[in-house]
Amino acid sequence: MKYYLGFIFLLFACNHRPAPVVEQTDNAMLRTLDEILYLLNEEGRGTEANLRLDSLTDLVHRASNAAVPAAWHRIKSVYLMKMENYDSSQYHIKEAQRYARQISDTNLQLLDAMSQEVTLLTTKNDYISALAVAGNVYNLAKRVDTTQLSVVCLRMAETLFRLGQMDASRRYMLEALTNAITPALADVIRRSAMGAEYGFPPDQIDSAIRFYEQPKNLKMPRKPFAQAALLYHIGNLYAVRGNVQKFETYLLQSLYLSRNTPFVTATIYRDLAYATSKTGRLDQSDRYLDTAEAMLRDSLLPQQELGRVFLQRADNMKLRGNHQAATVWQDSATIHASRYNDQQALLDADQADANLNRQVNERKIAALDASNKANLQISQQRKIILVVVIVGSLLLLGIILLLFRRRQLQNKVRQAHLELSLLRTQMEPHFLFNALSVLQHQIARARNEDASWYLSRLSRLLKITLLNARKNYVPLADEVSALDSYLSMQQMQSDTFDYQLDIYEGYQDDDLHIPPMLLQPFVENAIQHGVRYLQDRRGLITVTITRQQHTLHCIIEDNGRGPAAKAAGQSDEKPSQSTNITAQRLEILSRMSRTKATLSVVDKSTIGQSGVIVTLVIPFQ
């Protein structure tokens, strides 16, 4: 039985079908793999097939269609199983299944790969595992490809037979016959069943006959050649039990159904000759033998069957008592067998020569393949070296550019700090000049107490200024304190305005830092050019500071004369230059902090009021 199954599953392994929609190159690759599989199944050409298979490894795994690597791994597993390297074969079968499942859970590639796993497990005598996988293959074959179902059922029957589950094995054998698509396949299934059951004890033979003769089982195969195979098998079971009449009855039924299958028909005629000779109908036996011999001589059917016909003729002559003729037919059978063996020997010799030539070619191919692999490896190494050199050069160039860019940025930051320090040096003398002018004015008027108080305020203001002289950023609380000191000093001088500082709650606890002396110039402008010379009302200066996410919003508002009055000639004071200086400082601050710092001045006469609103947006740290 195992020899017929081996033949069937060898054909089954060859039954590879490419996926229905693939790229043109993938189709060509699948055709190449088919050629390698057929080459692998030829005697003595396994090494050549494996070399060709290995040469395609890289191309196969770059294919866009998963059917290509699935087929490659499945064929690789066939080669390794022939080499009895079962562990590696199992690995490639699993890889074939993995790639096949990338296509879908129901496709021919997956069916072929799982069937190959059943073959491997059966070869390893792991029948329980083989049965479990075969059950999955059976279910998949029903959904994917019913043409392969007969082979799958035959494998299920073999596995169950090995496990001693005879009734289940026979059911799958019947289903294999039912799904057989050719007479040749049906005959192979019949021979497989014969090989399994002919060695059974009489009680098990009787059990098999009772099983197959059940009406539902007799009607199960619907194709004539499948019915003929089943009847032929039942007849042979009766022959084993010595029931020649039943044997002949089933043979005649099988002969009628298989009349279009020459080889099966010739075999049945030979067996009918045996059955009729056992019942003493030697003339009828001779007629059956004449028909079988004619069919065998006039066709390309296996000629070793002629030897069996000659042996049956010899038996008939012995039964007639004609021993001389029996000897002649016995000698004819021997001569025919000898000629057949000589022909086979010649064929084997030719095959050996061909194998020798193939081995020589395989060695040449192996040497050429090794040379190509070495050249390919050298080429790949050169490419890797070139890529490393190019990447290294690009990295070095990138590092140089980054360092150059970093140096440029450092220079720009350093330049910005220098410009900012220069502007501050321009601004601080301007403020100090104004303060000393106020002090001089008070001393000149002999206002000593006021001058003393003013001087103490000025000293505190100068102290804060000197402490922050080398700092680019000062605490917000210090800047507010300095602004309060400055406003109180100016208020004492003229006593023409009031002021109000409205700072957001908790500013003294915040660790916020801003550039120094940004608000003071606009407060000074509000005093000098806005509220100092008011006569009809008392001036008011309001400083409001609120905190946003990354900036402080500062508003300085007065109710003074405003720019329109100055333009009309109400004052001959020189306008302060501090506004321009502060605008430049804010521009530099924007570049350094990468946060927008803005300045806006609004004349309140545009909204029907007098005075100015100055708004600053200052980034803080």
Q: In this predicted model, what pLDDT tens digit does every residue of 312-343 receive, in sequence order?
A: 888 889 988 888 888 888 888 888 777 666 66
Kindly report which listed range (212-226, 270-284, 440-454, 494-508) carries the lowest average pLDDT score: 440-454
507 within domain boundaries:
yes
168 within domain boundaries:
no
CA distance 496 to 540: 9
485 within domain boundaries:
yes
Q: Which amino acid is at 572?
A: D
**Helix, strand, coil fractions of the chain, as percent rounded to 5:** 75, 5, 20
CA distance 112 to 140: 10
If one counts the domains in the chain, the total is 1
453 within domain boundaries:
no
CA distance 100 to 74: 10
User: Can you point out the beta strands (E) in 529-611?
Assistant: 539-547, 551-558, 598-603
Residue 13 has a pLDDT of 44
Kindly report which listed range (4-13, 146-155, 251-260, 394-403) carries the lowest average pLDDT score: 4-13
Position 350 confidence tier, pLDDT thresholds 50, 70, 90: low
CA distance 493 to 29: 100
Between 565 and 72, the more confident residue is 72
Question: 547: which DSSP letter?
Answer: E
369 within domain boundaries:
no
* CATH code for the domain of 490: 3.30.565.10
CA distance 165 to 153: 14
Q: In this predicted model, what pLDDT tens digit does every residue of 430-471 receive, in sequence order?
A: 566 767 777 777 787 777 777 777 778 777 777 776 676 667
600 within domain boundaries:
yes
Rounding to the nearest 10 degrees, give the CA dihedral for residues 421, 427, 433, 439: -100
Give the residue numbers spanning the domain of 533: 465-564+576-619
> Residue 245: helix, strand or coil by DSSP?
helix
Number of H helices, E strands in the chain: 24, 7
Q: In this predicted model, what pLDDT tens digit does every residue of 564-617 receive, in sequence order?
A: 665 555 444 444 566 777 778 788 888 777 888 899 999 888 888 889 999 999
Tell me the pairing of strands 539-547 and 497-503: parallel
Q: What percent of the chain has pLDDT over 70?
A: 80
Partners of 612 in the β-ladder: 603
508 within domain boundaries:
yes
202 within domain boundaries:
no
Tell me the pairing of strands 513-514 and 551-558: unpaired
Closest CA to 191 of 217, 154, 221, 148: 154
Angle, nearest 10°, between helix axes 108-123 and 86-103?
Answer: 160
Kindly report which listed range (358-367, 502-511, 602-611) carries the lowest average pLDDT score: 358-367
Element (DSSP H or E) covering residue 379: helix 323-444
Question: 554: which DSSP letter?
Answer: E
> Residue 519: helix, strand or coil by DSSP?
coil
Angle at 424 between CA 423 and CA 429, to 5 degrees: 110
The 3-class secondary structure across 444-465, one letter per residue, is HCCCHHHHHHHHHHHHHHHHHH
